Amino acid sequence: MSRLPALHAPTAPPGTTDRHSTLPLLAVCLGYFMVILDVTVVTVALPVIGTGLHAGVTGLQWVVDGYTLVFAGLLLFCGGLGDRLGGKTVFLGGLGVFTLASAGCALAPAVTVLVLARLVQGLGAALMVPSSLALLRSAYPDRTARARAFGVWGTVAGLAAGAGPVLGGLLVAGPGWRSVFFLNLPVGAAALLLTVRHVPRPAADRSRPGLDLPAQLAAAGSLAGLAGGCIEAGALGWTHPAVLGAFALCAAGLVAFVWLERRSPAPMLPPGLFRAPAFSAAAVIGVLLNAGFYGLLFLAPLYFQRLHHYSALRTGFALLPAVGVVAVGSALAGRLTARTGPRLPMVVGLVVGAAGLFGWLPAGPATPYAVLVAPMAAAGFGTALTMPASTAAVMEAAPGARSGAAAAVFNAGRQIGSALGVALFGTLVAGGLVPGLHAAVVLGGTGLLLAAALAARYIPRTGKPT
């Protein structure tokens, strides 16, 4: 009978949590899993979506980049919003927006509607991600439990990214491509219920200065212009007035953003962060790394399905060498970074990733699949080896008071890199899949070698002394 009270421990009232309870962690990780999954799960479904909605490569680029651009562009803003309104309020709002937008994606009758729904999904993702860590910090005040929760949270990203292509192939081969988005409805509903009942509410910081809306709009306009120009150039040409206008919007938005941030009492992007060469280098490396890897993930399903006539299910399994090594690479990166500092795993990972991209140069209509296994594995392993070390380098280079802003900048840069990779790689294949693929992997591989040079020059061999 003395054990009966322990059996009732999980039924703590809303707003409280036991430090050993896994329910707050489950709630937050379900939402984060959806956010990361929807970056990669769509890749396998793209050719089928293009056929079903009569969309060309440009439309498919917007399906991927519409989500990523809004996600990247609003991360800094939504991080501040979570501080002002409270992490639980913003997280729940993001869950609701993401889940409803997923239903819009699943029911979309045309590619234009699908792109608009993906934009709204990106808003939901941006609301969820910055507030998720604040919720875990509040739910697990015990340092050991909190460290474990953060570790699980980070592992979820790798699992979601790795499961995306395979899960996408299974769903497309079974119920159809719309089920890729319908899957989010029960997951989102479960996350909402668990969050309401079991995640404590952190205190909001009402003293935080304004959210700098003009600068946010300028940044969003600049990103949209850059990605839009790169995407539309494939169909319209680089000198088309609409493309040139998009690039002009990008430049004007960037100038306005810098001008507004310098005059803001509470800038979203503190200029002092970039005075540390290691921080600036790591931020650029994050952009180049994601551009190469996610650009390849966009083109590989098109290559397998259009040239080798693979089914969506077979394509998902064909991509396993690229995504199946993520967990191994991430674990090894953590150990190497702890022993040697971030420079070694970053340089090695970037060189290996570049070799993986260059390994796609023999790819053609008759290239055996076995020839591409090692290049895919190298690209995935190199990315997984580099990313945790890059994160450590960013956090080591940033002042302690700016750690939150540094993490937001780094993650926003990664998402921008993903969007640019899809935009540029997709544009290059507009004139032909094979020559465009070759040009894309040369561009991506060269970018990773440049990133390796930056890491070797600017990333310290060991962390800052404590």
Tokens, residue 340: 């040697």
Q: What is the pLDDT of residue 265?
A: 73
429 backbone φψ class: left, alpha, beta (φ>0; ψ -120 to 50): alpha
pLDDT in tens, 111-135: 999 999 999 999 999 888 877 767 7
What's the one-letter identity of residue 99? T
CA 306 → CA 44, 46, 323, distances in Å?
A: 12, 11, 21
pTM tops 0.85: no
Count Cβ neighbours within 10 Å for each residue of 94-105 and write b for 16 or more, e otherwise.
bbebbbbbbebb
Please answer whether residues 55 and 42 qualify as being in contact, where contact means their C-beta atoms are separated by less than 8 angstroms: no
CA 436 → CA 295, 383, 424, distances in Å?
A: 12, 22, 10
Torsion of the alpha carbons at 290, 296, 302 and 304, rounded to the nearest 10: -140
Q: What is the pLDDT of residue 399?
A: 63
Task: Determine how many CB atoms are found less than 10 A away from the CB of residue 446.
Answer: 15
Q: What is the pLDDT of residue 353?
A: 95
Please answer whether residues 424 and 295 qualify as being in contact, where contact means their C-beta atoms are separated by less than 8 angstroms: yes
Q: DSSP readout, 351-374? A: HHHHHHHHTTTT--TT--THHHHH
Count Cβ neighbours within 10 Å for each residue of 63-83 and write b for 16 or more, e otherwise.
bbbbbbbbbbbbbbbbbbbbb
Q: What is the pLDDT of residue 112?
A: 92
What's the one-letter identity of residue 227? A
Q: What is the pLDDT of residue 141?
A: 73
> Which among 197, 399, 426, 456 has a CA at the least distance from the CA of 299?
426
Could you give the count of Cα atoms lying within 13 Å of 162 in the half-sphere of its Cβ? 20
Cα separation, 411 vs 413, in Å, equals 5
Q: What is the pLDDT of residue 25?
A: 82
List the chain residues with pLDDT less than 50.
Answer: 1-20, 463-466
Q: What is the pLDDT of residue 204?
A: 56
For the four alpha carbons of 396, 401, 407 and 410, in that order, the dihedral sign comes to: negative
Count Cβ neighbours within 10 Å for each residue of 398-414 and write b for 16 or more, e otherwise.
beeebeebbbbbbbbbb
Q: DSSP readout, 165-199? A: HHHHHHHHHTT-TTHHHHTHHHHHHHHHHHHHHHS
Q: DSSP readout, 12-72? A: PPTT---TT--HHHHHHHHHHHHHHHHHHHHHHHHHHHHHHTT--HHHHHHHHHHHHHHHH
Cα separation, 279 vs 295, in Å, equals 24
Q: What is the pLDDT of residue 349?
A: 94
Exposed, middle or buried by CB within 10 Å (0-12, 13-18, 19+), for 308? middle
Tell me which DSSP letter residue 11 carries: G
